[in-house]
Amino acid sequence: MFINRGDNGDEHDNNAAITQILQLRAERAKLLGYKTHAHWRLENAMAKTPERAMELMEAVWKPAVARVHEEVRDMQALADKEGAKLTIEPWDYRYYMEKVRKAKYDLDQNEVKPYLQLDKLREGIFWVAGELFNFNFTQVTNVPVAHPDIRVWEVTDKTTKRHIGLWYFDPYARPGKRSGAWMNAYRSQERVNGEVTTIVSNNANFIKGKPGEPLLISWDDASTMFHEFGHALHGLNSNVTYPTLAGTAVARDYVEFPSQLMEHWLSTPEVLQRFALHYQTGKPIPQTLVDRINRSSTFNQGFATVEYLSAALVDMKLHLAGDQKIDPDQFERDTLKELGMPKEIVMRHRTPHFLHVFGSDGYSAGYYSYLWSDVLTADAFGAFVEGKGPYDKAVAERLRKNIFSVGNTIDPAEAYRGFRGRDPKVDALMKKRGFGPS
Ligand SMILES: [Zn+2]
């Protein structure tokens, strides 16, 4: 039922609407002087052309599919051993995947959680921002908040004491609040008519603990916290004239790069030793447990990549197919067959309910952006690894100067070269996801 949403031939069927949207988009692109909707949408992205985006997707697709076949073999072996008498099908994947995870890595989230206290990790991200960007955080209570649970910190430069902005933290779920975790800017940095500093907010939906009890979160949630804080740092570091070009107002295939990059600092020993402390004993998370977390980080990346990438490829191909009358179902089937889609996986978003792509122009011909940003992320962290490590001041300064402070005032490809000294390479991403020779 879930995968057939919008595709049931009833009054909620979206196929005809999609055919029409695709035709209108193609027509508009032609009127504007572009070959296809994809060419129009990509012009202001870092990739610049659909061909370059396709090139990246195709480079990652093959090794990801190869990894899926290995994952399926592991699951099948386990099912056989248990005498399950079945062949792995899409509906078996998640169930057997968890069994393999337990068997291979013996990693249980409940073992990790006692070390991840929300407020300790918040101190951790402050400390990282201090090391990388020389920021200092002081809690303030003299500013308005939308709800008593929201806390605010003033951000200043550690050395010059200059005021940089305000950081709001709104971590708890409550009725009427949007789900998930996100960052938003209440005010952008600018200096059109004098200096205006930014006000950014990190928001999440943790269930508030009992008074006096620490709130424990999962490793994934901790990682998300670093991610969203990365968006906030992108805003706080902004140093431009015009608000429309400030902070995170950058190309769609570039905006997740600073935030994804920040995720890397969670697992640095400096953060874990100081801030991942057991809520009862106060002892830091044991290295053996960290090793197990790290080892399991490439687990199931075949599934995650193929599930995502098949949707991204179909999105791009639909918008390259131009003004021919497209039958979405048929197009999806043909494209997946041509790609060699593993039969054990279904696209993360099938065409009839692909909200990113058809809810608005937003991510149309742009679902590849997440992969593009992740290539930059993996390659950029390499600059620290090749240097003196995650807290290398010289690399951090290049990061601030070329990436975090410039908003959309320079071409992202040029900005990246300024930081890295060369164009991004895909190798680091392949390694991060555990693809290729192991
Ligand atoms: Zn993000």
pLDDT in tens, 369-395: 999 999 999 999 999 999 999 999 999
Residue 160 CB coordination number (10 Å): 9
Say what the pLDDT of residue 160 is. 98
Give catalytic residue positions: 228
Q: Which residues of the chain form CATH 1.10.1370.10?
A: 15-106+300-307+330-367
For the chain, the average pLDDT equals: 95
Say what the pLDDT of residue 238 is. 98
Right CATH for 115-283 from 3.40.190.10, 3.50.50.60, 1.10.1370.40, 1.10.10.10: 1.10.1370.40
Strands 135-140 vs 163-172: parallel, antiparallel or unpaired:
unpaired
Say what the pLDDT of residue 263 is. 96
Residue 438 has pLDDT above 70, yes or no: no
pLDDT digits (tens, 9 = 90+) for 271-319: 999 999 999 999 999 999 998 888 888 899 999 999 999 999 999 999 9
CA of 226 to the centre of ligand 1 (A): 10
End-to-end alpha carbon distance in the chain: 38
Chain-centre distance of CA 85, in angstroms?
38
Mean pLDDT throughout 126-137? Answer: 98
CA of 75 to the centre of ligand 1 (A): 32
CA of 161 to the centre of ligand 1 (A): 29
The position carrying tokens 């953060």 is: 271
CA of 255 to the centre of ligand 1 (A): 7
Say what the pLDDT of residue 212 is. 86
Q: Which residues of the chain form CATH 1.10.1370.40?
A: 115-283
Q: Is 366 helix (H, G, I), strand (E, B) or coil?
A: coil
Say what the pLDDT of residue 271 is. 97
Residue 89 has pLDDT above 90, yes or no: yes
Exposure string for 392-418, b = 16+ CB within 10 A, e = fewer: beebbebbbebbbbbbbbeebeebbee
Q: Is the Cα dihedral 394, 398, 399, 404 positive or negative?
A: positive
pLDDT digits (tens, 9 = 90+) for 192-247: 999 999 999 999 999 998 888 999 999 989 999 999 999 999 999 999 999 999 99
| Distance of alpha carbon 262 from alpha carbon 233, whole angstroms | 9
CA of 243 to the centre of ligand 1 (A): 20
**Spatial CA neighbour of 112 closest among 302, 296, 270:** 296
**Spatial CA neighbour of 155 closest among 192, 115, 184, 125:** 125
pLDDT digits (tens, 9 = 90+) for 161-170: 999 999 999 9
Say what the pLDDT of residue 437 is. 59
List the shell of residues around ion ligand 1, using CB closer than 5 Å.
256, 259
Q: How many degrees, rounded to 5, is the angle at CA 304 between CA 302 and CA 306? A: 65
Class in CATH terms, 15-106+300-307+330-367: mainly alpha
Say what the pLDDT of residue 315 is. 98
Say what the pLDDT of residue 362 is. 85
CA of 146 to the centre of ligand 1 (A): 23
Residue 326 has pLDDT above 70, yes or no: yes
